[in-house]
Structure 1
């Protein structure tokens, strides 16, 4: 059940799994690097429910201490985090010197020197200057990149997390109706997108964006602020937003005021066929490469010429937009049950043509299962003029 009490219980289980990993890897302490931007918050939020909107944050966890410390540079963000955290409120701090406080906590857990200290997001989020400061603070220990084993745990979603992802699937699917309801010839795109964002924010989301493509390419971006809707527009609309509990979903639909031209209809049918084909092979034990190959084959079988990839076909997702490798960075990555994949066939056609078709799917032994009501019938919506 999606309640704060339910989240607290779920986080306790997550921390126990992480501490089991720490003992296996012989990490006396774990330092988790975070930042206030999408893609930088999830690892910290996973064990603290910390909210960051800017700047650096560090979580510190010991092998046997069930309550992590959360260190945030901003006292304002510390207050926000204390209001909703899953750790003890007094352990959310905004010290004057973040690295000095990291040093004190690591020393409490590991002693003065000679121990293995796991660092999550060490290569992803830690700038050179911050790394030098961290190394100066706790460099008497061995600093080990712990990102991969940490992410391997959070890639497998709990029942609480799966419900939170499904909740967002329903919210973003409803956003498509909001987009349609506010669309008319002459409407300003910025206003229509703002209406969809107002809807999702009212549900409790904080971070996200809307964007679109109007030229039968998959490259969705925010429009110029003065651009208005035209009768012959073919709109590939995308909304990317976190859920009220912080879980990310990307979702798209194609909209038009007129019937889709044959070229656009074929293109859309091909990408929907790709989702069907690749979700069928997204089974436990298969690889990202199986998904990519299925996408390309399905589109080729529709008579369209595949030119390459414009984005990864999929990647694991959760409290970060990506909490692990993608089909581009690690095509041999093996799928595991209860992973959530952000699904968007990245195949691009000649002249950069293509539609962006996206949603979240859960990996099972039988193939990937869609975590929203956004089925094939919802990927095209006819607009009233």
Structure 2
């Protein structure tokens, strides 16, 4: 998903000979490769970009070659490792032939041998950056031993910088991911009735996400009723909805491997005036933060504007409002840089950001209003649109 010119520029400006990705997210981002074995079973895969030979190149399990075609990946070269345990029949399709050709192109015994060979062949110099996240300590030590004489540095920050500003295709996927999450929440809320549990409501959302072509992110959905809305991340449980309860959502899905993350707060059948005031004060904070958006704006300016708006709202509990942050970037991971806090850098046109002023009060309840937006030259474009007053679900 990364524009070729962007990584070539990074290699040149950083005086790097080679950039290596190892996490599931960065291998997909830089080489469009994703497979069940690497994403779900913990098998290693690596992407490589060379200042001299271009890219991407891939180190991956030999038995996962079909995933390249499933994903539409088109690497410059592949370094397979491990056995395939796949037998060949008499009637092979054209795709079968292509997969077989890749499998038989030569396989290494283990991924580190394959990666070390790839680095030796592709690096025209000795300065390389390797993301460490996809290694266990023993494997990384094995790689260091195999690459004696190379100047190796950690690559994570390079990938974070590359991923900050999104391409048109990335924004298209992020937009659809956000649309799926938002509409699924709204439709799930229409099913809410007395006696329904948090878990049942969460399952209504998951069903709708899948029907719309999204993939719920494992472990990333919180639903809380009543006083449980005060918990930062309430896991959907057996608490039954009651009239007057707040309902707090936080979660997202993946679409084309790109994440969404939105937050919503509703009231069931009736709402206290105090809850309405708190919601509107937090929404004012959201709008104040967004009013500062634009290319080159400091994240601290965005943060301070949102915090000031909430503190000056007239809600007594908010006079010392002090959140950890007011949002974050989003992309192939739920959290991409930058974070909306002081001293976290500047916004750039093409970033996709989640903006969220939260409030949690144990014994009472909590609120979350979180929207996704694209940063533009002089403002923003909303991908989702939270209500400006506390919505009451009948």
TM-score range, shorter chain: 0.7 to 0.9
Q: Secondary structure at the match of 1:222?
A: coil
Change over 3 Å in CA distance of 1:311–1:253 after alignment to 2: same
Q: Which of 326, 335, 339 pairs up with 1:313? A: 326
For 1:308 and 1:133, locate their aligned partners in 2 and report how far apart those are by CA, in whole Å: 49
Cα drift, residue 238 of structure 1: 2.1
Name the structure 1 match of 2:233: 220
Contact 1:282 1:290 in 2 (8 A): no
Cα drift, residue 153 of structure 1: 2.4
For 1:130 and 1:313, locate their aligned partners in 2 and report how far apart those are by CA, in whole Å: 38
For 1:336 and 1:16, locate their aligned partners in 2 and report how far apart those are by CA, in whole Å: 18
Aligned: 1:337 with 2:349: yes
Between 1:85-94 and 1:170-179, the stretch displaced more is 85-94
For 2:337 and 2:319, locate their aligned partners in 1 and report how far apart those are by CA, in whole Å: 27
Name the structure 1 match of 2:74: 87
- Give me the CA root mean square deviation: 2.7
For 2:241 and 2:365, locate their aligned partners in 1 and report how far apart those are by CA, in whole Å: 21
Structure with bigger RCO (C-alpha 8 Å, 6+ apart): 1
Q: Which of 47, 56, 60 pairs up with 1:68? A: 56
Change over 3 Å in CA distance of 1:345–1:98 after alignment to 2: same
Cα drift, residue 316 of structure 1: 1.6
Count of paired positions: 357
Q: Secondary structure at the match of 2:265?
A: strand
Superposition TM-score, scaled by structure 1 size? 0.83
Change over 3 Å in CA distance of 1:48–1:188 after alignment to 2: same
Superposition TM-score, scaled by structure 2 size? 0.81
| Larger Rg, first or second structure (1 or 2) | 2
Q: Which of 40, 46, 61 pairs up with 1:58? A: 46
Name the structure 2 match of 1:205: 214
For 1:352 and 1:228, locate their aligned partners in 2 and report how far apart those are by CA, in whole Å: 17
Matches within 5 A, 1:264-275: 264-275=275-286
Cα drift, residue 274 of structure 1: 0.6
Contact 1:69 1:87 in 2 (8 A): no
For 1:348 and 1:188, locate their aligned partners in 2 and report how far apart those are by CA, in whole Å: 21
Cα drift, residue 107 of structure 1: 0.4
For 1:126 and 1:308, locate their aligned partners in 2 and report how far apart those are by CA, in whole Å: 40
Contact 2:248 2:366 in 1 (8 A): no
Name the structure 1 match of 2:308: 297
Name the structure 2 match of 1:277: 288
Q: Secondary structure at the match of 1:229?
A: coil
For 2:150 and 2:67, locate their aligned partners in 1 and report how far apart those are by CA, in whole Å: 33
Cα drift, residue 367 of structure 1: 2.3
Q: Which of 97, 120, 124 pairs up with 2:110? A: 97
Contact 1:316 1:340 in 2 (8 A): yes
